[in-house]
């Protein structure tokens, strides 16, 4: 019986998300996927990468590819400001953790969203492709677009990023 209670409490427990701004919209990523947030540092361009891949950065001696989410979602490139930062996330590739930097206009807050606060992604009305959304989080009088990193960053693109990062240095 206690197992069922634990399972039920896990289903009703709020999940935490990191909220950030991108092209005038508020987005969020599951906090468990976030490794760290760093200020904008110089990016080394890598020839032959898709336009959404800005290049790579040196993160304490490690090469980390950087993806411009705005370009990836078709919103166009964003200007770098004093609030621009990189959200370093972890993705699993071939059973290994891989770090990726995501360019964000600014980071706002950590959000606690209960399962009842999450709606399915809308079929229309957002500038973000529906395939990239896990859903919409409802908080007070606003909605936050919850990104699905696994869909946004396809396995093929991640393999290309990892292969490029492994082959060159910063």
Which residues face 138 on adjacent strands?
Answer: 143
Q: Which of these, 158, 151, 21, 41, lies nearest to 93 by C-alpha position?
A: 158
Whether 3 is in a domain gets the answer no
Residue 144 CA, chain-centre distance (Å), reads: 13
| pLDDT attached to residue 101 | 94
| pLDDT attached to residue 2 | 46
- The whole-model pTM stands at 0.78
Domain of 107?
11-167
Query: What DSSP element (H or E) covers 90?
Result: strand 85-93
Q: What is the CATH number of the domain that holds 51?
A: 2.40.50.180
Mean pLDDT, consecutive 10-residue stretches, the chain (170 aa), reads 48 84 90 94 90 92 92 85 93 74 93 90 72 85 87 59 50
Query: Sign of the C-alpha dihedral, residues 63, 46, 54, 89?
Result: negative
Could you give the number of structural domains in the chain? 1
Whether 91 is in a domain gets the answer yes
Whether 136 is in a domain gets the answer yes
Question: Token pair of 15, please?
Answer: 């999940």
């Amino acid at each position: 019986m206690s197992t069922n209670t634990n399972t039920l409490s896990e289903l009703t427990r709020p999940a935490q998300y990191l909220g950030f701004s991108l092209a005038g919209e508020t987005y969020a990523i599951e906090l468990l996927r976030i490794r760290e947030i760093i200020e904008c540092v110089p990016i080394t361009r890598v020839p032959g990468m898709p336009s959404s891949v800005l290049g790579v950065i040196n993160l304490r001696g490690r090469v980390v590819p950087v993806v411009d989410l705005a370009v990836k979602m078709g919103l166009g490139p964003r200007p770098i400001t004093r609030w621009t930062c990189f959200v370093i996330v972890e993705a699993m590739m071939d059973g290994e953790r891989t770090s990726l930097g995501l360019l964000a206009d600014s980071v706002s807050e950590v959000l606690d969203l209960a399962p009842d606060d999450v709606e399915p992604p809308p079929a229309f009305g957002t500038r973000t492709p529906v395939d990239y959304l896990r859903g919409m989080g409802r908080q007070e009088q606003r909605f936050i677009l919850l990104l699905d990193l696994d869909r946004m960053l396809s396995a093929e693109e991640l393999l290309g990023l990892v292969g490029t990062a492994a082959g060159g240095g910063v």
